[in-house]
């Protein structure tokens, strides 16, 4: 009853125990492990299907590039969001902006927006394709950061090839 009085009286600033809305949402998500894995798989497969379908639509004259840009970007967002099922939204957001991933996250998110701008606003096919490639590279670099020593191995592999 006291809590209700505080909220109705405007004394509750949204939190009383120091937790934010993301932390409360994270605590409220009590999915079983099997359900989390199913959510991850469905969301990840949806992301891959959107990306592949977008790539197939790229070759359609006229409307191919905007469809590609939207589907490829939605696919990357779904793939990125799929990991929230495994670790939870708050931990995922904190992890995305950790020191070792912050640059890759920022580049990836900026390229997501720039891809859509290039396809719809600027109507520049070359830029849209360039931003999709940068999206892919940033997403790959971001993903490699979760695997111990994977970035070092990728850099060594690239230096051997060049």
The span from the CA of 108 to the CA of 96, in Å, is 11
Coil, helix or strand for 136? helix
Return the closest-CA partner of residue 68 out of 76, 108, 122.
Answer: 76
> Same structural domain for residues 6 and 53?
no
Q: 113-136 pLDDT, tens per residue?
A: 999 999 888 988 889 889 999 999
78 and 1 fall within a common domain: no
Domain that holds residue 136: 31-161
Question: In terms of domains, do 16 and 69 share one?
Answer: no
pTM for the model stands at 0.73
The answer to whether the beta carbons of residues 139 and 80 sit under 8 Å apart is: yes
pLDDT of residue 45: 96
Q: Give residue 23's pLDDT band: very low, low, confident or very high (50, 70, 90).
A: low
> In the block, which residue shows the tokens 């850099």?
155
Q: How confident is the model at residue 2 (pLDDT cuts 50, 70, 90)?
A: low
Q: Is there a single domain that holds both residue 4 and residue 66?
A: no
How many structural domains comprise the chain?
2
> Quick one: 16 and 48 in the same domain?
no
Between CA 77 and CA 150 the distance in angstroms is 22
Which range is least confidently modeled, 7-11, 53-57, 74-78, 89-93? Answer: 7-11
46 and 4 together in one domain: no
Q: Are residues 23 and 64 in the same domain?
A: no
User: Do residue 115 and residue 54 come from a single domain?
Assistant: yes
4 and 41 in a single domain? The answer is: no
Same-domain status, 22 and 94: no
For residue 15, pLDDT beyond 90? no
Indicate whether 93 and 146 sit together in one domain. Answer: yes
**Who has greater pLDDT, 11 or 102?**
102
CA angle 41, 49, 105 (to 5 degrees): 75
Q: Are 96 and 105 in contact (CB under 8 A)?
A: yes
The pLDDT assigned to 104 comes to 93
Give the model confidence (pLDDT) of 42-66 as tens digits: 999 999 999 999 888 877 887 788 8
Residues 35, 25, single domain; the answer is: no
The full length of the chain comes to 162
């Amino acid at each position: 009853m006291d809590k209700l009085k505080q909220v109705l009286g405007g004394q509750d600033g949204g939190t009383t125990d120091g937790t934010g809305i993301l932390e409360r949402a994270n605590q409220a998500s009590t999915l079983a492990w099997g359900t989390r894995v199913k959510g991850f798989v469905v969301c990840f497969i949806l992301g891959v299907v959107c990306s592949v379908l977008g790539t197939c639509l790229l070759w359609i004259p006229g409307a191919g590039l905007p469809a590609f840009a939207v589907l490829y970007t939605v696919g990357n967002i779904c793939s990125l969001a799929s990991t929230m099922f495994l670790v939870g939204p708050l931990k995922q957001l904190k992890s995305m902006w950790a020191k070792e991933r912050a640059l890759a996250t920022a580049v990836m998110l900026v390229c997501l927006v720039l891809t859509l701008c290039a396809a719809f606003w600027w109507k520049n096919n070359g830029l849209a394709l360039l931003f999709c490639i940068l999206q892919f590279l940033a997403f790959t670099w971001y993903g490699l950061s979760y695997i111990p020593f994977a970035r070092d191995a990728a850099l060594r592999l690239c230096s051997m090839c060049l």
